[in-house]
Structure formats: structure tokens, C-alpha cells
Chain A
């Protein structure tokens, strides 16, 4: 009979553990991060010019593009990226990406913190090279 108590206690502990995500978020609103586009980026979006790739692709793939850009610049000394629409870009985080997206704290960090991602871009690059 004492076994049954132990089993129920164990089961209760197990259920408390597996429902962790439910009770840890109790009473919290699950707001997705709101991104603020820097003026230059906003202008590019409003004019329909857009980013290097379409929005959905950028959201999912930007890290891979940065990785490829770095590889291509550092290893192969190729600096020109031709976008899908034939437009040419300088493969540079500081000079191309951050030129428009000059607000790391309100743009990059919002999603990265939300998804618990710690990219090592900023180990070398400063976040706002032009000091705007």
C-alpha cells in the first residue's frame, strides 16, 4: 500500500516536469518579437526594392547567406553577389547588410534573443560601423 503512494508521487513529479512549458509560461502573453526596420531598410521595403532575397527566404536563410558570403570573400576573394533580380551586391556584412539594418538591437537581436540564438558575427564585427 505504501508502494502505491510512492508510485503516485513519482507520477505526479513526472507530470509536473513534462508540463514545465505550460506552467512556466502561466499568465504570460506569447508575443512574437516585433522588428523595427531602420529608415533605409524601411524605404527599400516601401519602394518594393526589398532585400537581397525575398522576405520569407531571408527570414529562414540569412545565416547561410552570410556564411557563404564570408567563405566566398575570405577564401575566393570574390566580393560580388548577384541577386535573383540581377542586381549586384557587395558581399559584406558591415557595408551591405548593416548599411540598411543599422539597428542591431531592434532588428537582429529581437529574433535572435527570442529563438535563443547567439551568432558569432559580433565577435569580430561591430554592430553599427557607420555610427548612425
Chain B
């Protein structure tokens, strides 16, 4: 047992029961359904704004671009324009590849000793695939949840739902009955990818060694969100119209708890999301904003082309050697020290 993931797991479990049992107490649905969601959104917006503005204020005195290819040089040396960009356009291409395709993660390698002994480098392709699957599934999941926050539901969101439920899976046994409502593939991909990312931390010794509770907690939280969502949709069922009534009340600033009951699992799902939102600005999840502000990626690597002046330089009073010699020339000659300008040349200037 490892305290780092056990504590995270227990924390998520405790959150689940807090909401699941808490809503049975009269009066508490208002806390879980109205107060906490508003508080979480406010914390999220202010927290993210603060974090980003903090980064915006910090100085980037020198370009620390990571160069992953040939820098712009003489005309007959081919430049690697994307991996060592020298123009704004190329930086934008590089950033798009980074943000949308996780290019630097794709290039990540793992060093292994093979019999021989030979040092070998492997592409860590599964981490990249897992990360892509996780992030895109999460994005689709969030976007299709907009059906609960908009009335009428925009065409694009309905289109996304249609695409997401493209695979018509129906499993009908006495024990399991999945199929209606239609299966959204993104939810399952999200859960599977989060589980993979967790198992990776658990089973690769080097990764386990550097994993902290702050790494496990968001993973468990997201697994919890995906699990409660899937459980609610395909197994325990929930009154969707009532869930939407609650959500619509929140976004139109006329919050109320719907009369027809919503299950405790729904409130657990909601509490997980609230905790994730409130936890977001203070955690590693801020890589969402951080990736745009990475000075190793978002600057052109033109350190030899352009002179970069430290932005907080202020005029420093200097005493150059020329001025020093002007001040002490006579005395230097008297002491037998060599001088650059001879006194005969400077004599007319001295009179001025």
C-alpha cells in the first residue's frame, strides 16, 4: 500500500459518500446543488485568472526556446522551421502542434538497457496515445454536457451527440442491460484512459517514484466523474429532465432544486465536478493555461538573429575607460602608465 494514492483514493471515496448520503438530509440539496456549484465556478474563474496573470507578470528576460532542430543559419543550411522556429508564423504552427497534438509528448523517449549491454531509446507511444485519448474524450464529454445547459440545444451539440453515439451497442442480459439510452463512446474512452494513466503511475517503478498525492488525486477524481456518469446513465438511471431543470436554473441565475427527485449518484457526480473546478487553479491541472505560456515553446528561437535587451534594464551610470583616462591622463603619464591618447592630442579638449 502506498499512502500517496491511498489517501487520494480515500479522499475521493469520502467525497462520494458526502454527497450521496448528504443529499438525504433535508436542506442539504441546496448546498450540493446550488451553493457549491456557484462557489466552484467563482473559485475557478478567479483562480485561473490569478494564476495566468501571475505568469504574465513574471519576467522572461531571455529566450529559452528548446531547439529541436537546425536553427536558422546560412542560406545553404536547411532550417527546421517548426522545431526551431524563427518567425511568428512558425511559432504558431509549433504551438498548435503542441496544444492539439501533444508533439513534445510524442517525441518523449524512454531509455532502457538491453542485454549487451546496449543503451536503447524507445518512443513512449502509449503515454502519448493515452494522453490524447484522455484529453479529447474529456473535451467531447464536456461539450456534449452542454445539452443540459442550453435550451434549445444548439445544432452542433446535437451533431456531436449523434457522432459520439455512432456505435449502437446493446447488451441485454438478465444482469446487465446497456443500450438505452444510446452509448456515448467518449465516456468510456475517458474512464479507460484515466485508468490507464493511473496504472502507468502504479506499475512503472520510475514513474511511481516521482508520483505524489497531487498526481493521483485528480486522476481518481476524474475516474470518479466518469464512473458516476456512466453508472448513472447506463445502470442506476436518473431523471434527466430534472437534472437539466437544476442545471438550467443555475445558468439562468434562478436556481432551484427540482421537485421530482434526483438520485444521490447525480449529486456525487456534481460534487466531483465542483471539487475538480475548485481544485483546478491550485493544482497541476493548470497546465491547461501553462502550455500556452511555456517560454520553451512559445518564443521564436532567434537568439543569434535579434539582440534581446533585458526588459527591466534601466540606464546604468557607467564610467568608461576613455572617460577614466581623460580624468587621470596627466597623473598616469607622471606615474609612467601607458595611455591610449597622447596628451598633445587631448590638450585642446582639456581647455574646454
Contacts A30-B151, A30-B254, A59-B260; A15 near B56 (Cβ below 8 A): no
Contacts of A55 in B (CB 8 A): 260
Contacts of B172 in A (CB 8 A): 67-68, 71
> Is B147 in the interface zone, CB < 8 Å from A?
yes
B151 with A7: CB separation less than 8 A: no
Contacts of B55 in A (CB 8 A): 7
A61 with B237: CB separation less than 8 A: yes
Contacts of A25 in B (CB 8 A): 149-151, 248, 251-252
Binary interface encoding of chain A residues 4-39 relative to chain B, with 1 for a CB under 8 A from any of its CBs, else 0: 100110110011001111101100111011000000
Binary interface encoding of chain A residues 46-78 relative to chain B, with 1 for a CB under 8 A from any of its CBs, else 0: 000000000110011101101110010000000
Interface Cβ pair total, 8 Å cutoff? 105
Contacts of B147 in A (CB 8 A): 115-116
Closest B residue to A26 by beta carbon equals: B252
Which residues of chain B from 217 to 261 have any CB-CB distance to chain A below 8 Å in the complex?
237-242, 244-245, 248-249, 251-254, 258, 260-261
* CA gap between A107 and B327 in the complex, in Å: 99
Binary interface encoding of chain B residues 33-62 relative to chain A, with 1 for a CB under 8 A from any of its CBs, else 0: 000000000000100110011011100100
Closest A residue to B145 by beta carbon equals: A21
Contacts of B161 in A (CB 8 A): 116
Contacts of A113 in B (CB 8 A): 152
B254 with A29: CB separation less than 8 A: yes
Q: How large is the interface on A (under 10, 10 to 19, 20 to 34, 35 or more residues)?
A: 35 or more
Q: How far is the CB of A93 from chain B (nearest CB, A)?
A: 13
Closest B residue to A60 by beta carbon equals: B237
Closest A residue to B181 by beta carbon equals: A63
A116 with B49: CB separation less than 8 A: no
B146 with A20: CB separation less than 8 A: yes
A30 with B180: CB separation less than 8 A: no
> Is A114 in the interface zone, CB < 8 Å from B?
yes
Contacts A11-B52, A67-B170; A32 near B180 (Cβ below 8 A): no
Partner of A116, one of B158, B252, B254: B158
Q: How far is the CB of A78 from chain B (nearest CB, A)?
A: 13
A30 with B56: CB separation less than 8 A: no
* CA gap between A76 and B331 in the complex, in Å: 116
Partner of A21, one of B45, B57, B150, B170: B150
Partner of A115, one of B52, B179, B241, B261: B241
Which residues of chain B from 46 to 82 have any CB-CB distance to chain A below 8 Å in the complex?
48-49, 52-53, 55-57, 60
Partner of A60, one of B45, B238, B249, B258: B238
Partner of A10, one of B180, B238, B292: B292
B56 with A64: CB separation less than 8 A: no
Contacts of B158 in A (CB 8 A): 116, 118
Contacts of A116 in B (CB 8 A): 147, 153, 157-158, 161
* CA gap between A7 and B289 in the complex, in Å: 10
> Is B177 in the interface zone, CB < 8 Å from A?
yes
Closest B residue to A115 by beta carbon equals: B240
Q: How far is the CB of B138 from chain A (nearest CB, A)?
A: 14
Contacts of B237 in A (CB 8 A): 60-61, 64
B52 with A7: CB separation less than 8 A: yes
Contacts A63-B181, A64-B177; A7 near B56 (Cβ below 8 A): yes
Contacts of A111 in B (CB 8 A): 240-241
Partner of B49, one of A15, A24, A28, A63: A15
With most chain B CB atoms within 10 A of its CB, the pick from A1, A21, A61, A119 is A21
* CA gap between A115 and B149 in the complex, in Å: 10
A15 with B45: CB separation less than 8 A: yes
Q: How far is the CB of B197 from chain A (nearest CB, A)?
A: 24
> Is B293 in the interface zone, CB < 8 Å from A?
yes
> Is A84 in the interface zone, CB < 8 Å from B?
no
Contacts of A67 in B (CB 8 A): 170, 172, 177, 179-180
- Which residues does A use to contact B, with CB under 8 Å? 1, 3-4, 7-8, 10-11, 14-15, 18-22, 24-25, 28-30, 32-33, 55-56, 59-61, 63-64, 66-68, 71, 111, 113-119
A-B contact pairs, 16 of them (CB 8 A): A3-B60, A7-B293, A14-B48, A25-B150, A25-B248, A25-B251, A28-B252, A33-B241, A59-B242, A60-B263, A114-B151, A114-B244, A115-B240, A116-B147, A116-B153, A116-B158
Query: What 3 A-B pairs are tightest by C-beta distance, nearest first?
Result: A30-B248, A21-B149, A60-B237
